[in-house]
């Protein structure tokens, strides 16, 4: 149980284009989802927290207009990187949590490369 999937696992896009990453909780309802960014050989940095049906809460320094997060249902959250640039290339990981619980379940990550 408690499986989180991400799609795509890898994506390459050209500079200036937008790319959408999906995060799904497959066997539970996730009232809260988190999006992290991980640079090579570094730790995970929380980008934003999203609650189903609400606007996401972004961490300081994260551009909300660049990283659009939607959490429209209890099983799906999306992260859209708008007007991507090479410096946005990174490993993006989502996690999901059920209401009243503390444990987060992590997805397998999405490798974004912007050329």
Partner 1 sequence: AQSVTQLGSHVSVSEGALVLLRCNYSSSVPPYLFWYVQYPNQGLQLLLKYTSAATLVKGINGFEAEFKKSETSFHLTKPSAHMSDAAEYFCAVMDPVGYSTLTFGKGTMLLVSP
Determine, following the binding rule CB under 8 A, whether residue 111 of this chain makes contact with partner 1. Answer: yes
Site for partner 1 in 47-86 (CB under 8 A): 49
Determine, following the binding rule CB under 8 A, whether residue 35 of this chain makes contact with partner 1. Answer: no
DSSP secondary structure letter of residue 55: P
CA dihedral angle for residue 13, residue 37, residue 77, residue 25, rounded to 10 degrees: 110
Closest CA to 84 of 14, 3, 23, 24: 14
Determine, following the binding rule CB under 8 A, whether residue 108 of this chain makes contact with partner 1. Answer: yes
Closest CA to 25 of 68, 69, 70, 73: 73
Determine, following the binding rule CB under 8 A, whether residue 8 of this chain makes contact with partner 1. Answer: no
- At closest approach, how far in Å is the CB of 115 from partner 1? 19
Name the one range near partner 1 by CB under 8 A: 11-19, 68-76, 82-90, 105-113: 105-113
* C-beta neighbour count of 42 within 10 angstroms: 10
Residues near partner 1, by CB under 8 A: 4, 6, 34, 41-44, 46, 49, 91, 93, 95, 97, 100-104, 106-109, 111
């Amino acid at each position: 149980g408690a499986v989180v999937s991400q799609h795509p696992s890898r994506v390459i896009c050209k500079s200036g284009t937008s790319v959408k990453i999906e995060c799904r909780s497959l066997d539970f309802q996730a009232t809260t989802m988190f999006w992290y960014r991980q640079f090579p050989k570094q730790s995970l940095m929380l980008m934003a927290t999203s609650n189903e049906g609400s606007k996401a809460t972004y961490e300081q320094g994260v551009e909300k207009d660049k990283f659009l997060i939607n959490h429209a249902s209890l099983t799906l959250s999306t992260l859209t990187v708008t007007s991507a640039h090479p410096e946005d290339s990174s490993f993006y990981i989502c996690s999901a949590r059920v209401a009243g619980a503390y444990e987060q379940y992590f997805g397998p990550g999405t490798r974004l490369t912007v050329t």
